[in-house]
Structure 1
Amino acid sequence: MPDPAVCAQRVGLPHGADLSTPARAGATLLAHAREDIGGGRFDRAEQVLDCAEASAGAAADAQLRYELVRQRGVLAYRRELIPEALQRFECALQMSAAQADRSATARDLKNVGSALRRLGDFRGALRALTTSLQMQRAQGEVGGAVLNNIADVYRELDEPDEAIGHYRQALQAFRGQDNRVEAGHVLESLSELSLDRGDAAQAQVWLLEALQTYRQAGNRAYELRVYAGLMRAALARGDIARARQWREAAFAIADEHRLALPASLQLQIARSERLEGRPGAAVARLREAAAALPQGGVERIALLQELSLAQEAAGDRAAAIATLRDSHEQERKLSRAQQDRQLGWLRTRFETAERDRTIAALESENRLRRAELHQRTLWLWSTLASVLVAALALGLWLLRRRQHARLLQVRHEEALQRYRRETDALAEDRSLLQALLDSRQDAVCLVDAEGQLLAANRSARELLGLDPAAPLAQALGDCLADADRAALAATLERMEDAAALRLDFARSDGTALQAQLAPWERGDGLIVLSLSAGSAVAPAVEDDAEPHASDAEARGDFRRALVELMLAVVETWERSTGSGRLELAEKSRIWRVTIDDGRLRARAMERYLSLSKLPRQPRWRDVLRSAYYVLGQCAMDPAEREALQRRVDAALVYTRRRALV
């Protein structure tokens, strides 16, 4: 970059230009660069752009930087450096898209499409130009330039109908913008397209309209270019006289306004002179015009081709052949240069695409690695969280299980305490019973359904030959002679359904005794024995009076509760242990197991499993003892234990009300 302190004076800015700040200096120099590009002063335009960029420096805003890039692209395009221009236009497109400037983006797409058309990428050019057109239509400000460029692409693709349609739209757009110069260019393009299709008459119509347009715009230089087209159309029709008229009119305008004849007009004038029979004048004109043009230009090649025809018409075949060879060589060089530019552009595109692909692959790999790292981190955190949740859940489960076990232990201890209280209550009842029996003068003892002595007063102990001070820990049958034990067992078994029985038996030493058996008035299946010696008859125990209706109903409920409790006890035992009711009778030692027809049976317990078979004087204490045994020995869930306990409590309701405990 040049020195910003002196470059503004070196490029020859007019006096009074605003250079007060770097930003204003850059904007002012940029405006002069646009004028130089429009005027064809390309070297000076490049110097002004360099000075503008250096003067703005870091103070340049985004808009100024964008304009500098775009104008460098325009300069390269005007210099026929199409690949460089395309690179600048694409850079400007990225900048305008980043700034979300849709108008600038549409304009840059138009420039990109124009450069791609010059490079031979017609499909890419059409795609860019169509996108630009769509954006402009969306904003309601369609420019004629993009339509004109689209028409040029269709013309290159040899689709004249599409080209003419877009040229017409471009002409309408330029006229709507009152842009006569660009409208004249479109008319010239339409005339060239008509000449290429062999329609010289229509070409003349377009050219006359273009001539009128340029006259209205006051652009005499473009008028000379239109005269070249009119001469070409006239010569295409074979109208040499009309071509001569157009030539004279062009000479008049050039002389009047002191304008140099363009190469296209020189070519048509020389062609008309050759067709008029003046090949020498044509040769001289063509030599002078070709010498003024640089080597390798398209217009110079056209002049050389026409020069060879003029030399041939003049009879100088050797010179014509040499000139034709020169034109072919220059055309070959031009074509090779164009191909080199295209190959260079394609190579640059390929290298850029490969670089972008490599960058994209690296970015994709980096994203993949970041994603894997992120996924691994998430997995580790999720694993850690899962472990913590599992540990917390396990801790809560263990805590709940411990609390549940502790609650079960508390409940079990409470049940054991209650069982102990029940046992203590029974022992206290037995003590009270013993004291009550001792207060009587007659011999009385209390046995259970199995014949086990539960209590006996002193008189009964003396008759039975028992030590009054020793505790009762034997069966009544042990005090009897062997012959009377079976009779005692049969009598006790019948007592479950009888009100009173009488039994004569002998003591083990042969002393004759007599007993009156009656159910205990408190129930529970216990039996009261009134003993007497010899043949004296013991006083009979009177049976209880008939109970009241309400008491009978309560007793019926009590009997049903006993049967339901016993059924629940047996069911719980079988489900918990997998063994039957005989094992319950044997292990609990509450119910007697007998042999009946060669089979073991617990006949006494089986009577408590049916309400119809339940004894008249049920042994409810044995039922409760069986329930307590199962509660204490069997493993069961809390709900089952609670259900069985409710049945025990239901059976106890009646016994407590009747003071049976």
Structure 2
Amino acid sequence: THVEAQLRDWLGTLYFFSGEHDAATQQFRDALRLAKLVGDSHTLGSASFHLAQALHMQGEITETIPLLEHAHQHFTQADDARGLIGTMNMLGQLFRQRGDIDEARRWYQGGIELGRARHDYYGLLVILNNMGVLLHELGDFAGSLALFDESEELLQKLGTAQDGLVMLNFGRNYEALGDIDKAAAFYEGAIPVFEAQHARHHALVARSWASRAARLRGDLTQAQQWIDEALRGFRQNNTLFSIADSLANLGDIGLARAELDGAEKAYDESLQLVRQLGQPGGELRCAAALARIATMRGDSTKAQEWLETAVSILPKTHQLIIQYQLLASLAMFFAANGNAAHGMALLNWIQQQPTAMWETRQFAQNEAAALHDQVENVATISPDRSLTELLTFNFS
């Protein structure tokens, strides 16, 4: 029974990395049941962790955190540092996605400290990357790059030339800073790395990110090709959170083409999924984009509804980079509804913010230029004003 539990856990892992998540889930459930019969702490921890991973991929969030808490308990009993680091990393991921940043930091930091103490370079590599992503979302691009640099040093210690996740995360930061060619090189370079490892899901994620870089370079045909490939694969595997993110990227391509109906459809579908998954950051991204579409159509009532929805989500979110996108949508609304001076003042303020992504600052610059002839006197908003304060408003 002990050996069978381990074999089922191992078989489930093979199914998982090949993208067969339903089959993987069943194997992990069987492994967990068998491990309970023999009281094998290591396999109990491993099967609990792997089952949580598979369920999370499918959007089944109810069981996920209790399973991870059980995994943490069993790995502690087995003194399995690698298992503990992986579990703390995933708990950090879940709390980050739900907007609980203090809890996410606590789990990430605990895993990083354990990885450093045990010299577990591979476990440390993964969790450092995810802590770096959190800092990136908070607009701390220098802090996240420092962690990604540390990840590269770990790769040298591991004797590994490349790691796909490190490449993706470097790409994210270069995209945020406006070096789109370098971002594209990292995103596209990660695809064959993941494919060589038979990591199909991550290869699809890399395609989704590559579509972003292609869009920002103005190659909308290539952007569409990358996102179509990613979405097709995610739908085949029913990977809901990746479907949601890729749909939002598809909406961005629609906006770039001024195909408002297609963009709206993509954002709407993404919004339904992120609400189902309990991801307020994704909700905010879609609501801000839908407000922008309504403004572009001249539907101020619908735009106001979406802006009010977005502002109601704000307290649950931490992604500063998305909050700037909301402020840009708000600026467009003001400019289109009789207050071009305030809209332009907000757009000018966004351009001065180093924690805003390059894409958002570039958008603000272009929109401000378009408003230039409509506005004679523009009040200057101090660069030190807080984003939260500027997003605190009412339409009455």
Amino acid at match of 1:190: A
Q: Does the CA contact (< 8 Å) of 1:110 and 1:128 recur in 2?
A: no
Q: Does the CA contact (< 8 Å) of 1:225 and 1:262 recur in 2?
A: no
Q: Does the CA contact (< 8 Å) of 1:280 and 1:314 recur in 2?
A: no
| Structure whose alpha-carbon radius of gyration is higher | 1
Deviation string 1:90-109 (CA, Å, 9 cap, x unpaired) is: 33333553xxxxxx523423
For the residue of structure 1 that corresponds to 2:325, the secondary structure is: helix
Q: Does the CA contact (< 8 Å) of 2:292 and 2:329 recur in 1?
A: yes
Higher helix share: 2
For the residue of structure 2 that corresponds to 1:310, the secondary structure is: helix
Task: Give the corresponding residue for 2:167.
Answer: 147
Runs of 5+ in structure 1 lacking a partner?
A: 1-12, 98-103, 337-661
Quote the offset at 1:170 in angstroms. Answer: 0.8
Amino acid at match of 1:151: G
Deviation string 1:441-464 (CA, Å, 9 cap, x unpaired) is: xxxxxxxxxxxxxxxxxxxxxxxx
Quote the offset at 1:190 in angstroms. Answer: 2.4
Question: Within the alignment, does 1:21 sit opposite 2:44 as a pair?
Answer: no
2:336 to 313, 333, 342: 313
Pairs aligned (count) = 309
**Pairs within 5 Å for 1:126-205:** 126-134=148-156, 138=159, 143-155=163-175, 158-197=178-217, 199-205=219-225
For the residue of structure 2 that corresponds to 1:121, the secondary structure is: helix
Q: Does the CA contact (< 8 Å) of 1:308 and 1:323 recur in 2?
A: yes
Amino acid at match of 2:39: T
For the residue of structure 1 that corresponds to 2:315, the secondary structure is: coil
Task: Give the corresponding residue for 1:75.
Answer: 91
Q: Does the CA contact (< 8 Å) of 2:41 and 2:74 recur in 1?
A: yes
Question: Within the alignment, does 1:108 sit opposite 2:132 as a pair?
Answer: no
Amino acid at match of 1:264: R
**Pairs within 5 Å for 1:333-482:** none
Task: Give the alignment's Cα RMSD to 1 decimal.
Answer: 5.0
Q: How far apart, CA to CA, are the structure 1 residues paired with 2:75 and 2:222?
A: 52
Quote the offset at 1:334 in angstroms. Answer: 6.8
Q: TM-score, normalised by structure 2?
A: 0.58
1:271 to 260, 281, 292: 292
Deviation string 1:558-584 (CA, Å, 9 cap, x unpaired) is: xxxxxxxxxxxxxxxxxxxxxxxxxxx
Q: How far apart, CA to CA, are the structure 1 residues paired with 2:48 and 2:273?
A: 35
Quote the offset at 1:127 in angstroms. Answer: 3.2
Task: Give the corresponding residue for 2:360.
Answer: none
User: Percent of pairs identical after alignment?
Assistant: 21
**Pairs within 5 Å for 1:16-95:** 18=36, 21=39, 23=41, 26-27=45-46, 29-31=48-50, 45=65, 60-63=77-80, 65-76=81-92, 78=96, 79-81=100-102, 84=106, 87-94=109-116
1:245 to 262, 265, 268: 262
2:301 to 280, 298, 312: 280
Quote the offset at 1:295 in angstroms. Answer: 5.0
Q: Does the CA contact (< 8 Å) of 1:73 and 1:84 recur in 2?
A: no
**Pairs within 5 Å for 1:479-628:** none
Quote the offset at 1:169 in angstroms. Answer: 1.9
Q: How far apart, CA to CA, are the structure 2 residues paired with 1:321 and 1:172?
A: 44
Q: How far apart, CA to CA, are the structure 2 residues paired with 1:107 and 1:150?
A: 18
Quote the offset at 1:160 in angstroms. Answer: 3.6
Quote the offset at 1:244 in angstroms. Answer: 1.4
Task: Give the corresponding residue for 1:398.
Answer: none
Q: Does the CA contact (< 8 Å) of 1:49 and 1:68 recur in 2?
A: no
For the residue of structure 2 that corresponds to 1:62, the secondary structure is: coil
Distance 1:156 1:28, change over 3 A: same
Higher strand share: 1
Task: Give the corresponding residue for 2:250.
Answer: 230
Q: How far apart, CA to CA, are the structure 2 residues paired with 1:19 and 1:323?
A: 62
Distance 1:43 1:84, change over 3 A: farther
Task: Give the corresponding residue for 2:226.
Answer: 206
Quote the offset at 1:230 in angstroms. Answer: 3.3
Quote the offset at 1:273 in angstroms. Answer: 2.2
Say which structure, 1 or 2, has more relative contact order (CA 8 Å, 6+ apart). Answer: 2
Amino acid at match of 2:252: R
Q: Does the CA contact (< 8 Å) of 1:114 and 1:125 recur in 2?
A: no
Amino acid at match of 2:226: W
For the residue of structure 2 that corresponds to 1:18, the secondary structure is: helix
Task: Give the corresponding residue for 2:8.
Answer: none
Q: How far apart, CA to CA, are the structure 2 residues paired with 1:114 and 1:287?
A: 31
Deviation string 1:113-147 (CA, Å, 9 cap, x unpaired) is: 553562533563343222344456x469x542232
Q: How far apart, CA to CA, are the structure 1 residues paired with 2:266 and 2:107?
A: 39
For the residue of structure 1 that corresponds to 2:36, the secondary structure is: coil
Amino acid at match of 1:130: E
Q: Does the CA contact (< 8 Å) of 1:69 and 1:91 recur in 2?
A: no
Quote the offset at 1:207 in angstroms. Answer: 2.9
Distance 1:51 1:305, change over 3 A: same
Deviation string 1:484-530 (CA, Å, 9 cap, x unpaired) is: xxxxxxxxxxxxxxxxxxxxxxxxxxxxxxxxxxxxxxxxxxxxxxx
Q: Does the CA contact (< 8 Å) of 2:270 and 2:286 recur in 1?
A: no
Quote the offset at 1:282 in angstroms. Answer: 1.7
Task: Give the corresponding residue for 1:302.
Answer: 325
Q: Does the CA contact (< 8 Å) of 1:30 and 1:49 recur in 2?
A: yes
